[in-house]
Amino acid sequence: MIDAQIVKEALKKNKVRTEVFKDIEYLRFTDDYKDIPRGTAIFKDFVVWGYPHIGRIFQLTTGLPEQFNAPVWVEEKVDGYNTRIFSYKGEIYTLTRGGYICPFTTDRVREFISEKFFEENPHLVLCAEVAGPENPYVEEFPPYIQEDIAFFVFDIMKKGEQGFLPYREKLRIIDKYGLPHVEMFGRFELTQIEEIKRLLKKLNQEKREGVVFKEDAERDKRVKYITSYANINDIKVTSLNMLGLPADYYTNRLLRLALFIEEEQVEKNESLYKEIGEAFLEGIFKACQMVRSEGKVYRTFRCRFNKKENALLFLEQMKHASAHIQIAERSLEKKGRYYLLEFDKVFLNMTGLLGHLLKGGSVID
Amino acid sequence: MIDAQIVKEALKKNKVRTEVFKDIEYLRFTDDYKDIPRGTAIFKDFVVWGYPHIGRIFQLTTGLPEQFNAPVWVEEKVDGYNTRIFSYKGEIYTLTRGGYICPFTTDRVREFISEKFFEENPHLVLCAEVAGPENPYVEEFPPYIQEDIAFFVFDIMKKGEQGFLPYREKLRIIDKYGLPHVEMFGRFELTQIEEIKRLLKKLNQEKREGVVFKEDAERDKRVKYITSYANINDIKVTSLNMLGLPADYYTNRLLRLALFIEEEQVEKNESLYKEIGEAFLEGIFKACQMVRSEGKVYRTFRCRFNKKENALLFLEQMKHASAHIQIAERSLEKKGRYYLLEFDKVFLNMTGLLGHLLKGGSVID
């Protein structure tokens, strides 16, 4: 558990907030505080620790020997959103990275995760990526998911404890309960850098996001590495809302791309440069076009719910999530076995500034 | 003059600092405070007001009619640094935009600006751009300056007063004293947008930065517009030090480029996209190469002084100017009639992070 004194301090400093989901009240760490990561959630009887930050390396040849002292397990990093799944009084709930109980993920989780797992392991927490074209949070998704969403377990924690179950134990449990999981590429010696590079080249060609390395040792150190495909795609997908993201989102990705190319000695060919310029500008053009034709810049999301109640709860929660994004419901209708929710995220910064500039407004910068 | 009460308040709030240049002590506004712009300098007998911020439009067709009610004078915006030139007890001094007396500009100003002007007009302040390949502040310079620096007067102020002399009065004075000045393209009706666009297309082809529009009316409103050449060139020239600039430096320029193309309906051709990608990445590659070969990322500047004393004073001042840039003197030697100073600006953010990453370090972002 977490020392009550630290929680009191954190409350005073506004690092902890009380949240309510249906009849559950819990505390949520809105920021890292001392050794407690953002997203840590405190329930009446237990704590679900926040998912820790994972360091990123920009080059493999130097990065792997620098970061690790033992062989590493290599797993796919799936492009979706992080969730922690746990049971409470016989129900299954899911937390977002930030520590909110998510009405969408919670609504859908039983379709993907065996209930038997939680019946037999009420003390465990599954860490998973949720990804797919019909998720309500991120625009990107892996190419192999055709519709809706999918769950990919990648770690297992114990309630009330930081850190994860050992890798082989995780494999055993995933296997035993048939849990959906991220693709696992096996265990690599640190001398096998060429094999790892080949793997990443393949993932890049397949338009996948990257990998997480997990050291096969007591300290269970982790480091991630992202493909150049994913770095360019991040720019491409988000440039519609360029002013809504921290500006260093882009300089970070440019740096990653440059260091990837620098390591690989990829021919510095025109096609990659072109892709980068295009990724930035096409989104802004699209945004201008939206302002001219509809007066706002937005992106439409769709997602499927089992219960209408959860869709409404989800919308309510989203409406309070960001001061820079306005949520506009398009429709909520029963289609087949699901309630299909369609809503727009209206990007207010982009809408405001482009509207001003296209009308001939000036800015001081 | 400025109300003593406001200066006291500003001092308390750390918006004003005492500076010394040789035997002159003065106060400098380090930030905008109430209606007093950053860079305003208070001397014993008079005040030199800071040069005001000028709004920028991103599109001409809508921007000009939106911003102005009367015809506009159009002048070249020269790519250099802003200086305010004034006389004090028979000497000529120059202030940077931030309000420092600049030992370099002050050392050189008499070669470019007629002393007779200040003998006859000790109450006036010349606002000028200093530009050229051998200036110590900005890497870019107009293509028509082959060596050293040049001065380009664009406004005239009175000591102690905000605002500028009327445009025709400025023309008369520039003519009378043969002052070097920015190119003036004349007076345009607001209906002459096509002519103005043609002018900007020409400036773009000539690799010039842009124009400032000055309304021919009592309120003397000003607005600037930058060519797409200059926007790409800004990215190209600064990407070596990408982490040393505020990240929105880049998103701003991408937005300007996109709105330029959107207005001009320039064929969204591959060559422009390629230029943008190249502008970003080539600088980072160069920075990586510098870290690998020399252990640091830097740019070498050269400039010419009449007096050795001023070069030393300048170096001293630069050493305290930024926490993110280290100044390393390369050489200071008499060459012909000048003392030639060569120094490096070492970009510490870029040096630190790239050094870490190329050695295989990880970052959490």
Tens digit of pLDDT for each residue in B252-271?
Answer: 999 999 998 888 877 667 78
Chain B residues near residue A261 by CB distance under 8 angstroms? 281, 285
Whole-angstrom distance, CA of residue B86 vs CA of residue B77: 21
Please give the residue of chain B at the shortest CA–CA distance from A281. Answer: B258
Q: Which of B53, B257, B284 sits opposite A258 (nearest CB)?
A: B284
For residue A41, give the nearest of A82, A100, A129, A93 by alpha carbon: A100
Per the document, the length of chain B is 365
Pairing of strands A81-88, B150-158: unpaired
Please give the residue of chain A at the shortest CA–CA distance from B274. Answer: A274
Percent of chain A whose pLDDT exceeds 70: 99
Question: What's the mean pLDDT when you consider all of chain A?
Answer: 96
Q: Are the C-beta atoms of A29 and B338 separated by less than 8 Å?
A: no
Q: Strands of B24-29's sheet, edge to edge?
A: B16-21, B24-29, B41-42, B47-48
For residue A210, give the nearest of A75, A83, A97 by alpha carbon: A75
Chain A residues near residue B277 by CB distance under 8 angstroms? 272-277
Whole-angstrom distance, CA of residue A88 vs CA of residue A137: 25
A243 touches chain B (CB under 8 A): yes
- Residue A8: is it exposed, middle or buried by C-beta count within 10 angstroms (0-12/13-18/19+)? exposed
Question: What's the mean pLDDT when you consider all of chain B?
Answer: 96
Q: If contacts are CB pairs under 8 Å, which of residues 141-200 in chain A contact chain B?
A: none
Determine the residue among B284, B286, B290 to mutate to test chain A binding: the one whose Cβ has the most chain A Cβ atoms within 10 Å: B284
A84 confidence band (pLDDT: 50, 70, 90): very high
Q: Are the C-beta atoms of B352 and B306 separated by less than 8 Å?
A: no
Q: Which CATH class is domain B54-224?
A: alpha beta
Determine the distance from the C-alpha atom of residue B155 to the mean position of all C-alpha atoms in its chain, rounded to a whole number: 14
Rounded to a whole number of angstroms, the distance from the CA of B266 to the nearest CA of chain A is 12
Whole-angstrom distance, CA of residue B28 vs CA of residue A225: 48
The predicted-structure confidence for A36-78, as pLDDT tens digits, reads as follows 999 999 999 999 999 999 999 999 999 999 999 999 999 999 9
Rounded to a whole number of angstroms, the distance from the CA of B69 to the nearest CA of chain A is 13
CB atoms within 10 A of CB A288: 23
A254 touches chain B (CB under 8 A): yes
Q: Are the C-beta atoms of B68 and B221 separated by less than 8 Å?
A: yes
Whole-angstrom distance, CA of residue B306 vs CA of residue B334: 9
Rounded to a whole number of angstroms, the distance from the CA of A110 to the nearest CA of chain B is 32
Q: Which of B54, B59, B288 sits opposite A358 (nearest CB)?
A: B59
Query: How many A-B residue pairs are in contact by the CB < 8 A criterion?
Result: 167
B246 touches chain A (CB under 8 A): yes
Q: Are the C-beta atoms of B305 and B108 separated by less than 8 Å?
A: yes
Whole-angstrom distance, CA of residue A104 vs CA of residue A151: 13
Whole-angstrom distance, CA of residue A349 vs CA of residue A137: 18
B321 confidence band (pLDDT: 50, 70, 90): confident
Chain B residues near residue A254 by CB distance under 8 angstroms? 242, 280-281, 284
Whole-angstrom distance, CA of residue B152 vs CA of residue B128: 5
Q: Are the C-beta atoms of B36 and B2 separated by less than 8 Å?
A: yes
Q: Note the pLDDT of residue A247.
A: 83
Is pLDDT at B42 greater than 70 in this prediction? yes
Q: Are the C-beta atoms of B39 and B97 separated by less than 8 Å?
A: yes
Whole-angstrom distance, CA of residue A150 vs CA of residue A112: 7
Q: Are the C-beta atoms of B78 and B63 separated by less than 8 Å?
A: no
Rounded to a whole number of angstroms, the distance from the CA of A197 to the nearest CA of chain B is 15
Q: And the tokens for B23? A: 């035997």
Please give the residue of chain A at the shortest CA–CA distance from B357. Answer: A58
Whole-angstrom distance, CA of residue B56 vs CA of residue B68: 13
Rounded to a whole number of angstroms, the distance from the CA of A61 to the nearest CA of chain B is 8
For residue A87, give the nearest of A147, A34, A43 by alpha carbon: A43
Is pLDDT at A267 greater than 90 in this prediction? no
Asked whether the beta carbons of residue A254 and residue B362 sit closer than 8 angstroms, the reply is: no
Q: Which of B246, B268, B360 sits opposite A66 (nearest CB)?
A: B360
Q: Which of A67, A223, A251 sits opposite B243 (nearest CB)?
A: A251
Asked whether the beta carbons of residue B59 and residue A278 sit closer than 8 angstroms, the reply is: no
Rounded to a whole number of angstroms, the distance from the CA of B217 to the nearest CA of chain A is 19
Q: Which CATH class is domain A4-226?
A: alpha beta
A219 touches chain B (CB under 8 A): no
Whole-angstrom distance, CA of residue A104 vs CA of residue A102: 5
Per-residue pLDDT, averaged over B229-233, amounts to 96
The predicted-structure confidence for B123-152, as pLDDT tens digits, reads as follows 999 999 999 999 999 999 999 999 999 999
Asked whether the beta carbons of residue A284 and residue B258 sit closer than 8 angstroms, the reply is: yes
Q: Note the pLDDT of residue B271.
A: 86
What SS3 string covers chain B? CCCHHHHHHHHHCCCEEEEEECCEEEEEECCCECCECCCCEECCCCEECCCCCCEEECCHHHHHHHHCCCCEEEEEECCCEEEEEEEECCEEEEEECCCCECHHHHHHHHHCCCHHHHHHCCCEEEEEEEECCCCCCCCCCCCCCCCCCEEEEEEEEECCCCCCCCHHHHHHHHHHHCCCECCEEEEECCCCHHHHHHHHHHHHHCCCCEEEEEECCCCCCEEEEECHHHHHHHHHHHHHHHHHCCCHHHHHHHHHHHHHHHHHCCCCCHHHHHHHHHHHHHHHHHHHHHHHHHCCCEEEEEEEECCHHHHHHHHHHHHCCCCCEEEEEEEEEEECCEEEEEEEEEEHHHHHHHHHHHCCCEECC
Asked whether the beta carbons of residue B362 and residue A65 sit closer than 8 angstroms, the reply is: no
Whole-angstrom distance, CA of residue B132 vs CA of residue B135: 6
Whole-angstrom distance, CA of residue B262 vs CA of residue B228: 12
Please give the residue of chain B at the shortest CA–CA distance from A270. Answer: B274
Asked whether the beta carbons of residue B257 and residue A281 sit closer than 8 angstroms, the reply is: yes
For residue A224, give the nearest of A48, A98, A79 by alpha carbon: A79
Mean pLDDT lowest among A129-133, B12-16, B244-248: B244-248
Q: Which of B62, B64, B360 sits opposite A67 (nearest CB)?
A: B360
Chain A residues near residue B214 by CB distance under 8 angstroms? none
Per the document, the length of chain A is 365
Whole-angstrom distance, CA of residue A173 vs CA of residue A175: 5
B290 touches chain A (CB under 8 A): no
Please write down the long-range contacts of A348-352, taking CB distance under 8 Å and 24 or more positions apart: A348/A244, A348/A323, A348/A324, A349/A241, A349/A243, A349/A244, A349/A324, A350/A240, A350/A241, A350/A242, A350/A243, A350/A244, A350/A287, A350/A297, A351/A291, A351/A295, A351/A296, A351/A297, A351/A298
Q: Note the pLDDT of residue A264.
A: 80
Asked whether the beta carbons of residue A63 and residue B362 sit closer than 8 angstroms, the reply is: yes
Asked whether the beta carbons of residue A268 and residue B254 sit closer than 8 angstroms, the reply is: no
Q: Note the pLDDT of residue B268.
A: 63
The predicted-structure confidence for A274-284, as pLDDT tens digits, reads as follows 999 999 999 99
A62 touches chain B (CB under 8 A): yes
Q: Are the C-beta atoms of A129 and A78 separated by less than 8 Å?
A: yes
List of residues 6+ apart from B154 with CB closer than 8 A: B75, B78, B127, B128, B129, B181, B182, B212
Q: And the tokens for B235? A: 């990215």
Supply the ipTM of this predicted assembly: 0.92
Whole-angstrom distance, CA of residue B26 vs CA of residue A317: 55
A281 touches chain B (CB under 8 A): yes
Rounded to a whole number of angstroms, the distance from the CA of A239 to the nearest CA of chain B is 10
Rounded to a whole number of angstroms, the distance from the CA of A214 to the nearest CA of chain B is 14
Q: And the tokens for A159? A: 């309630």
Question: What phi and psi, each to the nearest 5 degrees, are found at residue B263?
Answer: -70, -45
Q: Note the pLDDT of residue A268.
A: 63
Q: Note the pLDDT of residue B230.
A: 96
Asked whether the beta carbons of residue A277 and residue B276 sit closer than 8 angstroms, the reply is: yes
Of the CATH numbers 3.10.310.30, 2.60.40.650, 3.30.70.2160, 3.40.190.10, which one belongs to the domain with range B294-358? 3.30.70.2160
Q: Strands of B184-188's sheet, edge to edge?
A: A362-363, B55-57, B222-226, B210-215, B72-77, B184-188
Asked whether the beta carbons of residue B357 and residue A58 sit closer than 8 angstroms, the reply is: yes
Token look-up 């003390």 returns A123
Q: Are the C-beta atoms of B273 and A235 separated by less than 8 Å?
A: no
Interior angle at CA A79, CA A73 and CA A80, nearest 5: 115
Q: Are the C-beta atoms of B361 and B295 separated by less than 8 Å?
A: no
Asked whether the beta carbons of residue A250 and residue B246 sit closer than 8 angstroms, the reply is: no
A229-365 is classed CATH 1.10.3720.10: no
Rounded to a whole number of angstroms, the distance from the CA of B176 to the nearest CA of chain A is 34
The predicted-structure confidence for B59-81, as pLDDT tens digits, reads as follows 999 999 999 999 999 999 999 99
Percent of chain A whose pLDDT exceeds 90: 93
- Domain residue limits, chain B: 54-224, 294-358
